[in-house]
A and B are shown apart, each in its own frame.
Chain A
Amino acid sequence: MSILNYLIRRIGLALLVILGVMIITFFVSRVLPADPVRLFVGVRASEETVEAKRAEFGLDQPVPVQFLNYAGGILQGDFGISFRTKRPIVDDLKIFVPATLELVILSMVLAIVIGIPVGVIAAANRGGWIDQISRIVTIAGVSIPSFWLALLLQLLFFSTLDWLPLGGRLSREFIISNPIETVTGFYVIDGLVTGNFEAWRNALWHLVLPTFVLATYPISLTARMTRSSMLEVMSETYISAAQAAGLSRREILFKLALKNAIVPTLTVLGLVFAFSITGAILVEIVFSWPGLGTYVTESILSADFPVVMAVTLIVTVIYVAINLFIDILQATLDPRVRLGSQ
């Protein structure tokens, strides 16, 4: 199969998956709850108000029509109205998505920059002390609850040592007197672009703990997966053949085996995103980070289903897009992926 055919097929599948995801979120938000309208207007509202609102939201129509309205709205960027804030959800998302992505992207970068080399080195020293230590540390890394780690670090670096801020994206004095102007929504970029270096430094300072906590799981996971795919590759005959041809261990490890092992390891990056974004939900609460996680948790507490569904949907679409990108990357790296794509 040519790469173009592979691409088209893969994109088609991704669209199918997004359709399925929309069906599920629709089902969960409109069909599972007993009466979403009652939730919106409150318990004390009269029957007439309920029916009026039901008609306004189109919830009195047959379920398939409701779904078409829902899907049509989403395609136009309309995620509905929040029960809690009564604002269009899409306006809230514009504020919260960049805040969360700032954390998630940093955590993914750390996972790649630290996780992959650690995995390769552990595999190269299989059974040695570096391998043993990295095994324990990385397993601990995937075992520690992020919200608890966040709590511990707050206790240490804020309560005890007072080195780092407790939470938030920016200290209060900056928010009041010298806020970072929004250009992209990413403070790390906006602070530099607008030349507001003091606030920028303050923003970086606030990023340290949340990023570290969020990156713990992804780094450990990447290191473990890299190690095991490296070991698998190292047991292949073509590695023996390369040795027989006189290639050195370093060349085999870093030039040959890494390219073979990177293909399965890339799959991990999709997972790393998934774990970062869901980890962010928990971590943001602890650090009062004004992102999707805080937004969604507040919505959960007030049973604000449309918001929860909208966030689920948007995060999932990003996830599907990332996986699509990874698959295409794998297909360009490994000619066999294109062939055995079914």
Chain B
Amino acid sequence: MSFLKVEGLHISFNTPHGVAEALRGVEFSVHEGAIFGVVGESGSGKSLTGKAILDLVPYPGRITSGRIFFENEDLRQKSERERRAMRGNQIGMIFQDPSAALNPVFTIEQQMMGIMKRHRAEAKKEMRAKALGLIHDVGLPDPERVMKSYPHELSGGMQQRVMIAMSLLLDAKLLIADEPTTALDVTIQAQILDLLKKLRDEKGLTIMLITHDMGVVAETCDEVAVFYAGEVVERGNAQEVLSNPQHDYTRALLAALPDGSRWDEAGEDSTRPLIEIQNLTQEYVSKSGLFGRTQTAVRILDQFNLTIYEGETLGVVGESGCGKSTLANTLMRLIPATAGEIRYDGSDILTLDGPALRQLRQHFQMVFQNPFTSLNPRMRVFDIVAEPLRTHRQLGSADLKVQVDRLIVECGLTADYADRYPHELSGGQAQRVAVARALALNPRFLILDEPTSALDVSVQDRIIKLLVDLQKKHQLTYLFISHDLGVVQQISDRIAVMFAGEIVELGTSEAVFTAPQHEYTQKLLAATPSLIRMKRDNSL
């Protein structure tokens, strides 16, 4: 007897191209009190399965066949009324982006009471006490204040805790958590995962945890089902699946994860500084009050110092708001600095303008996180890669074509991609185009701003490999920015850990990763769900 069992679930979508099967006979079962991981890449059907259990398959999709048993009752045989009564009461759900899942025009209290009024006839006072208790249980301080807040007044982590509390208001036995931590920082992610484990242990909650991150599975789950193209390709005990994967796809997923090894052997230590950042300060003045008279200066970077050596890859790790993006934008002269210097080639780049700035623009280039937002959707690949050449070099159309073709091929695509538009490319191909554009002017220094985090795991390592090859070939210096220590460690010679606008730890990749000195680095490392640690823990 199993708690939740899905048999032969098929879901189809009407699309302009005809009927598309999104789920093709999904089967799995979940034991009561387990944390069941559902893992797969975007589009594999994992979220859809979660929604199907609650009968919330989005338009224009529909369940064509299959059975869903919850406590040995077939949910699909139930009436709409019965199913609605199950939602919330028996099965709760939380979503990827908590800020979108909470209604912005109601306070938390209004939302929670609205849910309870629907199902319970308890007195208002008791319901309120229960809501307060749950808010306390999910680890939020000052429940009274939280109740009176509007969603936008809470941080992302707090919002997700509130969502969890809301889903438990009616004592659901099963919680479907759809990528609950993807929109959150790693340290917050760790806290939310801990909370889920605690709820399982203390309340006997069964959790179906949908994620794209094998690390999260390794960290949290008892059982796992691996989804690929609408099917479950492998399932079983989480430890067993991870340590001894049977299916090729599972193996590929695991192989792509950072495992503590490096892509390239560390180059010999360069000692010639390329860029020296001295006392860089970035203040953001937030205006409030009447006509912005009350001004509060927020320091995003505070007396920041960093030297980047020629030919090295310097990894910069930190969570959102730590100042790493501001650092990149300042280096690229996209935003002005409040104070300080950035010395490059003997001059302060913060004071350059006119021809000197144009010269600098050729030496510094940047690759952005999401390739689809960094490529203009209305331009062909050719024009995208040609843009820097058109801006800085006077080339005839034949020369231009030769140059662009060479760049595209160098980045691992064929010349016929030049005629395509970005939407005709996959994520990996689009990122290659972005890299080709960055290389067009033979830069010396590249800022890589999370260049792989928007890509599926199986594509990530190929982009990293391309970047490593290009670095060798062109003697490039990289500043590699990421929120993920695991990824940074793969490619970096040195790592700088940033927290609240300062570098709290700077050292060789090896040293930072294996023997972190600063408390925050240790916390970050502990919060990063990774196989390395799992493997290390297992071997111990």
Contacts and interface: CB of A to CB of B under 8 A. Distances in A.
**Does chain A touch chain B in the assembled complex, meaning CB atoms less than 8 Å apart?**
yes
B88 interface: yes
Q: How large is the interface on B (under 10, 10 to 19, 20 to 34, 35 or more residues)?
A: 35 or more
A238 B103 contact: yes
B427 to A, nearest CB: 23
A248 B97 CA distance: 23
Interface stretch (B4-12, B113-121, B354-362, B485-493): B113-121
Contact of B102 (A238, A255, A334): A238
B290 A8 contact: yes
Contacts of B93: 241, 244
B167 A259 contact: no
A160 interface: no
A8 B291 CA distance: 9
Interface in B70-121: 84-89, 92-93, 95, 97, 100-106, 114-115, 118-119
A245 B101 contact: no
Contacts of B152: 335-336, 339
A245 B56 contact: no
A9 interface: yes
A180 B263 CA distance: 93
Contacts of B51: 240
A238 B95 CA distance: 9
A333 interface: yes
B15 interface: no
B118 A251 contact: yes
A263 B105 contact: yes
Contacts of A247: 114-115, 118
A177 interface: no
Contact of B115 (A8, A245, A263, A339): A245
Contacts of A236: 100
A177 B229 CA distance: 85
A188 B115 CA distance: 46
Interface string A45-77: 000000000000000000000000000000000
Interface in A320-342: 333-336, 339
A241 B101 contact: yes
A242 B54 CA distance: 12
Contacts of A237: 95, 97, 100-101
A85 interface: no
Interface in A223-249: 236-238, 240-248
A248 B106 CA distance: 18
B100 A243 contact: no
A260 B104 CA distance: 8
Contacts of B288: 1
B150 interface: yes
Nearest to B149: A335
Given A1-B288, A246-B85, A334-B104, 8 more contacts: A8-B290, A237-B97, A238-B103, A240-B56, A244-B54, A259-B105, A260-B104, A335-B153
12 contacts: A238-B103, A240-B58, A243-B54, A244-B56, A245-B92, A246-B88, A246-B115, A248-B84, A260-B105, A334-B104, A334-B105, A339-B152
Interface of B: 51, 54, 56, 58, 84-89, 92-93, 95, 97, 100-106, 114-115, 118-119, 150, 152-153, 163, 166-167, 169-170, 288-291
Q: Which 7 A-B pairs have the closest CB atoms?
A: A246-B88, A246-B87, A244-B93, A237-B100, A238-B103, A245-B88, A241-B101
